[in-house]
Structure 1
Amino acid sequence: MSPASTGASAVVDAVPSLPVSDSRLTPGGPGYRRMSFALFLAGVATFALLYSTQALLPLISDGYGVSASDASWTVAAATGGLALFVIPMSALSERFGRRTVMTASLAVAVTVGLLVPFAPSLGVLVVLRGVQGAALAGLPASATAYLAEEVRPKALVTAIGLFVAGNSVGGMSGRVITGWVAQEWGWRVAVGVIGVIAVGCAVAFRLLLPAPQHFKAGSLHPRRLLGTVRDHLADPLLRRLYAIGALFMTVFGGVYTVIGYRLTEEPFSLPQGVIGSIFLVYLVGTVSASTAGRLVGRLGRRGSLYLAGGTTATGLLISLADSLPLVLLGLVLITAGFFAGHAVASSAVSKTATHGRAQASALYQSAYYIGSSAGSTVGALAFHAGGWSGTVGVGLLAILGVVTITVLGSVAARRQVLANAH
């Protein structure tokens, strides 16, 4: 369907065909490194803030005298707020610019981050985390849309992989830092430190990110926005990619929300600082996300998703052992599979959308963080009901969904080839 028939503005369309002298950014070219590092820092700040309480849930439970499932709402509220506001934020980025929206989003999020340590009750903490998540909604979709407009197509998967790698570094460093700081000074000081680090990342991001050269402001007409959203939801491939992103994040959200509780219990009984250091396995995600482009080049999109799903499922099964080295190996495989699958699916969304890339990415991010909220909540409930095996069971069901959807995509693609042949 053409943009004209949907009412989408020119900006919501794919980047127009450029002459041979393509001025978009490319690896090794001027501005590419600054752009990559700026968005890497944005990814670091986003995930460090978004999951700043996740490694601290046992301490928050003790501090407020609440259960694991109650404390998990400090994670679910943030990811849920992001999921709800990512589409409206993407619409604002169409009107006011990707860089402007990302800058404003980070500014609000880091401000709230400095208030979080002073929450007098769990209810207030959950509300602040919800506001923080809503503010962070301006980052993911705007960042991928910025890359789709400013980076040459052949370098897009790699560029998005670097942004996702920043997510993994933020998630890792936030949890490791909070673990050790909380062991000495408590969880409130720990989340305050993350807020200060995020302020530094936000300032550096704004100073480094090149001004957009291929953005054209669109309108904020709700009818046009809804038309674009309907177009994306009518696309079977995009629907499959959205579901895959949600299911992968259901696994990841559940595992990393509950793992702290498991490791504080017998037979592990680890201190908070050591539990925080467990999140160093996020470095594996940094590598797997940044190499997603090469993986797709060798195996194709569906082959890469099968490999990512199989790796994640293997990690879940290995993590059932009551052996710390095997639990760590399981987390490594879960993390590698998740970040590879996420990078492949999110970059496929940007390539598939022929118009309204910001909205296409926003829908993916919305599904992705709905999966995170569901995973953290359902994973905690499953842990309460059946221990770690209950959380693993939820994860395996989600991976079964990923594989089933990918198989259906393969069947649909084969049917399309046969239809075209006739």
Structure 2
Amino acid sequence: MPCVSTEASAGADAVTPVPSHDSDSRMTPGDPAYRRMSLALFLAGVATFALLYSTQALLPLISTEFGVAASQASWTVAAATGGLALLVLPMSALSERFGRRAVMTASLAVAVSVGLLVPFAPSIGALVVLRAVQGAALAGLPASATAYLAEEVRPKALVTAIGLFVAGNSIGGMSGRLITGWVAQEWGWRVAVGVIGVIAVGCAAAFRALLPAPRHFTAGSLRPRVLLGTVRDHLCDPLLRRLYAIGALFMTVFGGVYTVIGYRLTEQPFGLPQGVVGSIFLVYLVGTVSASAAGRLVGRLGRRGALYLAGGTTAAGLLLSVATSLSVVLLGLVLITAGFFAGHAVASSAVGRTATHGRAQAAALYQSAYYIGSSVGSTVGATAFHASGWAGTVRVGLLAVLGVVAITVLGSRAARTAAGREPVTAP
């Protein structure tokens, strides 16, 4: 499909850009509405990541109960992230028509309902199917949240606001794995995922009660011609393409590492019990800090500098993680987590600021690439682990980080080439 303008291809049906509003009417840090919004989306992030990765720390137990290998059990993670990746773009289209808050609310409601059924899965096949449905249900939340923030928050506060949402992701990922680890050690993996489902119900209810009604949303069209034109515009933007690839590559590292780490730590030379393995995910707190600090990092280093730092930190963590000392492995996980969440917050916020129309579709394409990266990382990382141990998983991660650096270098060259013609904010 050739890269031509939406207006030329869609005529009168072209998507109308969100109109400009007085910046004083948008939320800014310090406003009561901003605080409510931040807490609401933080809780939504907690619920999303807790549900999406609820089985990740439990894979060794799932392998044992159903008699399957790591590469098969990893599909309980890959199916959820894959379902989200496939549905995020259609769900973002619904949010353009029916509103961000309505779609986010519906997504969480369905996802938590499925989460209460997951503990009763009778087979590995049924578990994978339920997880795929759960991931598909969650698809309406991440892209809609990013678009909501881009419309309702002042531009200068956008990176910080998205960083807080990503921080909620990190807390959800951490608490979900921590809780499931200790609960599963005493009562099994089924009770553990059930507890996560109940917690997610509470987060979803609080989210709906706290999130302010949108004030700057302009309904778009559900006509396929218009939507395809908007998607084409985004895919023809070289900056957005680079951001999508960066998000996918960062998540390939993260998905691979955290899908396999439980197997590594329960095996020799570590031989840790399930509860202690779950506690390892406390390192997600580092991700909370690095995601929240992404705005300040970009202010000091620029987007490209922040991405180089995030990639370098992730690579250093991967190299440290091959050690046989538990303390060094933990330090490696800290660096991997900090680098990943910082890079993700920088890239996702850049998408929100770059898109001039169809923000939900722009964010959805990023989220789709991001969760495809998670699915690829989970399956390829587990396969590499099965073939050549932890070193194989690390090699997959280092290749992905090298891809991030190469794309960022290309962005730097594009910025220099475009200098003097138009402003470029490419990563």
Is the shorter-chain TM-score for this pair beyond 0.5, marking a shared fold?
Answer: yes
Alignment partner for residue 42 of structure 1, among 30, 41, 44? 44
The residue type equivalent to 1:359 in the other structure is: Q
| Alignment match, 1:219 | 221
Q: Does 1:142 align with 2:144?
A: yes
Gaps of 5+ in 1: none
Kept in 2: contact 1:13–1:354 (CA 8 A): no
| Alignment match, 1:173 | 175
| Alignment match, 1:18 | 21
Alignment of 1:4-403 (within 5 A): 4-5=7-8, 7=10, 14-19=17-22, 22-403=24-405
Once the two structures are TM-superposed, the CA of residue 202 in structure 1 deviates from its matched residue by: 0.3
Kept in 1: contact 2:287–2:342 (CA 8 A): yes
Distance 1:5 1:354, change over 3 A: farther
* Number of matched pairs: 420
Kept in 2: contact 1:25–1:151 (CA 8 A): yes
- Per-residue CA shift, 1:385-413, capped at 9, x if unaligned? 01000000000000000000000110111
Once the two structures are TM-superposed, the CA of residue 354 in structure 1 deviates from its matched residue by: 1.1
Kept in 1: contact 2:178–2:282 (CA 8 A): yes
The residue type equivalent to 1:234 in the other structure is: C
Task: Give the distance between the partners of 1:96 and 1:412, measured in 2 at CA.
Answer: 37
The residue type equivalent to 1:19 in the other structure is: D
- Per-residue CA shift, 1:187-234, capped at 9, x if unaligned? 000000000000000000000001111112222101110100000000
Once the two structures are TM-superposed, the CA of residue 18 in structure 1 deviates from its matched residue by: 2.2
Task: Give the distance between the partners of 1:252 and 1:290, measured in 2 at CA.
Answer: 18
Distance 1:230 1:333, change over 3 A: same
Kept in 1: contact 2:170–2:287 (CA 8 A): yes
| Alignment match, 2:412 | 410
Distance 1:130 1:73, change over 3 A: same
The residue type equivalent to 1:146 in the other structure is: Y
The residue type equivalent to 1:147 in the other structure is: L
Once the two structures are TM-superposed, the CA of residue 299 in structure 1 deviates from its matched residue by: 0.2
Once the two structures are TM-superposed, the CA of residue 11 in structure 1 deviates from its matched residue by: 11
Task: Give the distance between the partners of 1:235 and 1:26, measured in 2 at CA.
Answer: 29
Q: Report SS of the residue matched to 1:31.
A: helix
Distance 1:168 1:12, change over 3 A: farther
Kept in 2: contact 1:144–1:358 (CA 8 A): yes
Q: Report SS of the residue matched to 2:82.
A: helix
Task: Give the distance between the partners of 1:64 and 1:11, measured in 2 at CA.
Answer: 51
TM-score (norm 1): 0.97
Once the two structures are TM-superposed, the CA of residue 7 in structure 1 deviates from its matched residue by: 4.1
Once the two structures are TM-superposed, the CA of residue 117 in structure 1 deviates from its matched residue by: 0.2
Kept in 2: contact 1:3–1:355 (CA 8 A): no
Once the two structures are TM-superposed, the CA of residue 165 in structure 1 deviates from its matched residue by: 0.3
Once the two structures are TM-superposed, the CA of residue 5 in structure 1 deviates from its matched residue by: 4.1
Task: Give the distance between the partners of 1:354 and 1:5, measured in 2 at CA.
Answer: 17
Task: Give the distance between the partners of 1:237 and 1:94, measured in 2 at CA.
Answer: 22
Once the two structures are TM-superposed, the CA of residue 8 in structure 1 deviates from its matched residue by: 9.2
- Per-residue CA shift, 1:152-207, capped at 9, x if unaligned? 11111100000000000000000000000000000000000000000000000000
- Per-residue CA shift, 1:103-139, capped at 9, x if unaligned? 0000000000000000000000000000000000000
Of residues 176-185 and 208-217 in structure 1, the stretch that sits farther from structure 2 once superposed is 208-217
Q: Report SS of the residue matched to 2:419.
A: helix
Task: Give the distance between the partners of 1:360 and 1:419, measured in 2 at CA.
Answer: 24
Task: Give the distance between the partners of 1:106 and 1:3, measured in 2 at CA.
Answer: 32
TM-score (norm 2): 0.96
Task: Give the distance between the partners of 1:113 and 1:11, measured in 2 at CA.
Answer: 39
The residue type equivalent to 1:286 in the other structure is: T
The residue type equivalent to 1:188 in the other structure is: R
Distance 1:166 1:10, change over 3 A: farther
The residue type equivalent to 1:140 in the other structure is: P
Kept in 2: contact 1:3–1:13 (CA 8 A): no
Task: Give the distance between the partners of 1:289 and 1:151, measured in 2 at CA.
Answer: 17
Task: Give the distance between the partners of 2:297 and 2:207, measured in 1 at CA.
Answer: 29
